[in-house]
Structure 1
Amino acid sequence: MDIVVRAARPEELDRAGHITADAFIGDGHTSADGDYARRLLDARTRAAEAELLVAVDDSGEGTLLGCVTFALPGTPWAEVAREDEAEIRMLAVAPEARGRGAGEALVRAAMARARAHGLPRMAFSTQRSMHSAHRLYERLGFRHTPDRDWSPVPEVQLQVFAAQI
């Protein structure tokens, strides 16, 4: 499968939001009726306030496979990025596209975006239960940085992964 990662187009934003919300809800990382589910669904805001990258199957119909929000430090979507770090948020791959390299392509594209902005590092938060994502991150050189772990709300504990890119 040929995968192309690029900025999301306006006509793809609703589908990108559904992929993100469905992945997080379907994998048990958030509830369907909470505030976070609504944020996951709202790809339009993410595309307007950050960069929304999409992975597309380029071998035919251009099927949307997944997406990730890329944020620069000091911007509204950067929660843990220090001044020399870019940050990714809400990495999601459609269930039918998993195992094909879309997640890795999205992370690598975000790393390239960070380097293009002159940022030597990248950091992001992840839930402890996201074991498949952790394996991907570690394979790409990211490491858990326990001293940066945090909790946005009492019932959610997040781990921070970071790397020199």
Structure 2
Amino acid sequence: MHAVTIDRATPADFDRIAELTVGVYTDEDLVSPGYVPQLADVAGRADRAELLVARDTTGRVVGSVALVLAGDFGEVTRSADEAAFRMLAVDGAARGQGVGEALVRECLARARAAGKRWMVLSTGTRMTAAHRLYERLGFTRLPERDWTPVPGIDLRVYALELA
């Protein structure tokens, strides 16, 4: 596993998180152009979620994720027992080294500590590497909760019981 530390993002990290998230999602053609402003709005999501970063041994941000423990930013959450995470992004140069898994595991630990019973997430149909990660960590598909936020964007829902 890649040597990373996971901690809360600070405003000094926001530009790098925006660059990383927009880059990953657009370079891999995972989002429509209309979604790019949301990916770039790091300050906005920091107000609505717990923004976590993975730093390599030099302190450089190589991954980020938004953990949602309450509020409407979770989008797929349906009860106060559910947490969600969104906008998971890992620098291409750090892929395959456990950075994404470390970020997800930290989200799970923080959700458990907050008393949540479930972690839910939605993911694009083409995000196959993410699907493999979620399944390896024990997430299961909830096809009855799949959704389409805008025409042409179909999202799959996964969940993991935290208890």
TM range (shorter): over 0.9
Equivalent residue runs for 1:4-153 within 5 Å: 4-31=5-32, 34-57=33-56, 59=57, 61-73=58-70, 75-83=71-79, 84-153=81-150
SS of 1:44's equivalent in the other structure is helix
For 1:18 and 1:42, the matched residues in 2 are separated by 10
Provide TM-score, normalisation by structure 2. 0.94
SS in 2 for 1:77: helix
Kept after mapping to 2: 8 A contact 1:125/1:160: yes
5+ residue gaps, structure 1, are none
Q: Give the whole-Å Cα distance in 1 for the aligned partners of 2:77 and 2:21.
A: 21
Residue deviations 1:2-51, cap 9 Å, x none? 211110011011101111111110111124xx331111011111112211
Secondary structure (helix, strand or coil) at the match of 1:132 reads helix
Q: Structure 1 residue runs of 4+, over 3 Å off?
A: none
- 1:76: Cα distance to partner? 2.9
Measured on the aligned residues, the alpha-carbon RMSD in Å equals 1.0
Q: Which segments of 5 or more consecutive residues in structure 2 lack a partner in the other structure?
A: none
Aligned length: 160
TM-score (norm 1): 0.93
In 2, distance between residues paired with 1:82 and 1:2?
Answer: 35
Of all paired residues, the percent bearing the same amino acid is: 46
Q: Distance in 2 between matches of 1:56 and 1:95?
A: 14
